[in-house]
Every structure is written in structure tokens, then in C-alpha cells.
A = this chain, B = another copy of it.
């Protein structure tokens, strides 16, 4: 091994599961952001976290309503997922722009995205600032999935999305920059 750059490392570490995080403001207006920086962090209780850049519409919403949903978009949702990862919710209504349909969650206020492969309903339990991002650490309070639609999107180098399954099938290669 030799020393390499941060961006080269991001290429080497690809692919990474890409998710769409939904939030709402105090008036109930929803937003969606596309991120690759998330992980499960506890088996029992069931917990996960997301890392969100400062100044995002999502951060603003999370200051107001401490709940979010982590949706795994299906391969057919690549175009909408691309919009969510590249445009700001401060200026557009992302549900309208993508055509995604919101579905009521079981417990939290932010909506699920209809047709997603998987959706974790989360309630924030603590927050930690990490450099230019903020961690939202949360209890998973309900989980939803779509049987028979297991293929979801993975981010390659944060500039292309692919979907794949355990047989290595790849369906989408869409630059999202």
C-alpha cells in the first residue's frame, strides 16, 4: 500500500448503500435528502445513525421534529433518487419534483416513500457534531419492506448510482452530479 488521496479512497471504498432520508418541518412539510453516510449502531436496542451536512433543509427540519425515515430506493427510483441527492429542499418540493408518493409512517411524522425497498422509522436520541456534518443517532421504532423487490441503489464514488443484488446483477448506472 502507498499513500493515496481522500477522493481516491472514496473510489476504493465504493460501492455504498445509498438512502433517502425523509424529515418534516414543524408545519408537517416533508423533505427528502440522499445520503451515503449512515450505519446501524446497536442490535439491542435497535439503533442507527445518519450524518447530515450543516445548513441542509434536513438539518433545519431535524431541529424542529426529531424524527426521520431512512428509505432504501429501489432500482426503478434512480432518477428521483438522483434529484434528491443533488437539489436542495430549501428551493423545491422534492416529492413533487420526483413524483415520489409519501405514505404515512406507523409511528413517526415523516413519511415513507412508496415503492422503496426498505424503510426504517427513527426517533433521534442524541446528536453529535462531527466536523462539517452532524450525527443524528436514533432508535429504530418500526421497519417496513417491499417483498419481492430486494434490489436497491448503491453509490459509486458518490457520483454514480448502481443497483445490484447478491448475484452481481447491475441495472442502473446513472451519474448523479
Give chain B residues whose Cβ lies under 8 Å from the Cβ of A152: 12-13
Query: Which of chain B's residues have a CB closer than 8 A to the CB of A140?
Result: 6
Chain B residue at smallest Cβ distance from A119: B1
Report whether A6 and B131 are in contact in the complex, using a CB–CB cutoff of 8 Å: no
A72 in contact (CB, < 8 A): yes
Asked if A114 contacts B42 (CB within 8 A), the reply is no
Residues of B within 8 A of A135 (CB): 41, 49, 137
Number of copies: 2
Q: How far is the CA of A135 from the CA of B126 in the complex (A)?
A: 12
Q: Mark A114-137, 1 if CB is under 8 A from B, else 0.
A: 111111100000101011110101
A156 to B164, CA, bound (A): 12
Distance (Å) between the CB of A11 and the closest chain B CB? Answer: 8
Q: Whole-angstrom distance from the CB of A143 to the nearest CB of chain B?
A: 5
Least Cβ–Cβ distance between A154 and chain B, in angstroms = 8
Residues on B with C-beta less than 8 A from A20 are none
A92 within 8 A of B: no
Closest to A160 in B: B166
Chain B: minimal CB distance from A64 (Å): 22
Answer whether residue A150 sits at the interface, using C-beta atoms and an 8 A cutoff.
yes
Query: Which stretch, A21-29, A55-63, A76-84, A167-175, touches the partner chain B?
Result: A167-175
Query: Per a CB cutoff under 8 Å, which of B1, B6, B106, B117 touches A146?
Result: B1
4 additional contacts (CB under 8 A) given A2-B147, A42-B130, A46-B131: A1-B119, A10-B40, A12-B152, A39-B49
List residues of A whose CB falls within 8 A of some B CB. 1-6, 8-17, 36-47, 49, 51, 72, 103, 106, 112, 114-120, 126, 128, 130-133, 135, 137, 140, 142-147, 150, 152, 156, 160, 162, 164, 166-170, 173
